Amino acid sequence: MKFLVMPGDGIGPEIVPVAVAALKALDDRLGLGISLEEVPIGFASLASAGNTFPDEALAKAGDSDGVIMGPTDTLAYPPLEEGGRGPSAFMRKGLDLYANLRPSRTMRGVAAPIPQMDLVIARENTEGFYADRSMYKGSGEMMVTEDVAISLRKITRAASEKIAHASFKLARQRRKKVTIVSKRNVLKMTDGLFYDTVQSVAQEYPDVEVEDVIVDAMAALLVRRPESFDVVCLTNMFGDILSDLASELAGGLGLGGTINAGDAHVMAQAAHGSAPDIAGQDIANPTAMVLSLAMMLDWIAAREQDNKLKEAGHLLTTAVDAQLADPATRTRDLGGTLGCRAFGAALVKRLEGSA
């Protein structure tokens, strides 16, 4: 089994090695037969290849069983014509990673603004208002005059069906409830198409409860009664925004594991950004990157019916939970004393069974 590693920018080269070390420990323990290859992206590849996402990165990703991608600093990239390619966008479009899955759950020992939450944001990942994903050629944004800017939104039945099926299949593994979130009362064509499509797919899953919530009400309900939600199905931008809110309510973006998944490919990628202000200081929290890896192992295990990978994902998630529950093995942002490298070393000990 081949995994491709893309360290990324900022704290990426610090947190990705923690996930890789954990994966190697699991491989040694369970005999997973994993091989690893690293390819530079972001500013590292801009310096060496003239762009932030070289063509070989996508080609190698397509030939891999899974990808571990660190955060990228796309806001600081040069324009596209000067080599500023968004790695996430190229991966999502190039490999049809249509499902962005972002769990948010409260954890023992980690302070959170709300007492209980355990939900997954299932966000459509390939279209919507994102200017780099809306058009076959060109951008979904344009300047009509120097004082007028227009953004186009694309919603298709095909993409809506894909994220709907992913949501209902995931709900069947959890508490069997899907909440459809939209702004169909105002965006009657685009969100109307999304809502109607998800409702149509719901007919194939009669054992799953379906709930309908308008997006602004959902923002309030996430704060008021987050424990009532299970799987939340949304379009791209709404999912991006509400998943950050859910992560913060559960304890912070530093805990936000994420996968970008399609029918044939999957990528582990933490929900947070590259945090250039703390890069190189060994104070980054690698939890989100490690939990993203655990999610990726679970996803591949379910697809391939691989019990070893399923056990690996479970062991990794359990080890992270145990580490966060112990004040002595937390990072500083969670009230502990460990740096990024020390957190990783302690996690490897747990996975080896010596902690």
**Catalytic, out of 55, 63, 212, 216:** 216
SS3 assignment for the chain: CEEEEECCCCCHHHHHHHHHHHHHHHHHHHCCCCEEEECCCCHHHHHHHCCCCCHHHHHHHHCCCEEEECCCCHHHCCCHHHCCCCHHHHHHHHCCCCEEEEEEECCCCCCCCCCCCEEEEEEECCCECCCCCCCCCCCCEEEEECCEEEECCECCHHHHHHHHHHHHHHHHHCCCEEEEEECCCCCCCHHHHHHHHHHHHHCCCCCCEEEEEEHHHHHHHHHHCHHHCCEEEECHHHHHHHHHHHHHHHCCHHHCCCEEECCCCEEEECCCCCCHHHCCCCCCCCHHHHHHHHHHHHHHHHHHCCHHHHHHHHHHHHHHHHHHHCHHHCEHHHCCCECHHHHHHHHHHHHHCCC
Is 306 a known active-site residue? Answer: no
Question: Any catalytic annotation for residue 132?
Answer: no
Q: Which of 132, 196, 244, 282 is catalytic?
A: 244
Q: Is 60 a catalytic residue?
A: no
Annotated catalytic residue: which of 9, 27, 230, 240? 240
Angstrom distance (rounded) from CA 173 to CA 178: 12
183 is a catalytic site residue: yes
Catalytic residue among 183, 205, 298, 308: 183
Both tokens assigned to 21: 């070390």
Residue 9 designated active-site:
no
**Residues 155, 168: Cα–Cα separation, whole Å:** 19
How is residue 290 written in tokens? 């490690």
Catalytic residue among 130, 191, 298, 308: 130
Active site residues: 130, 183, 216, 240, 244
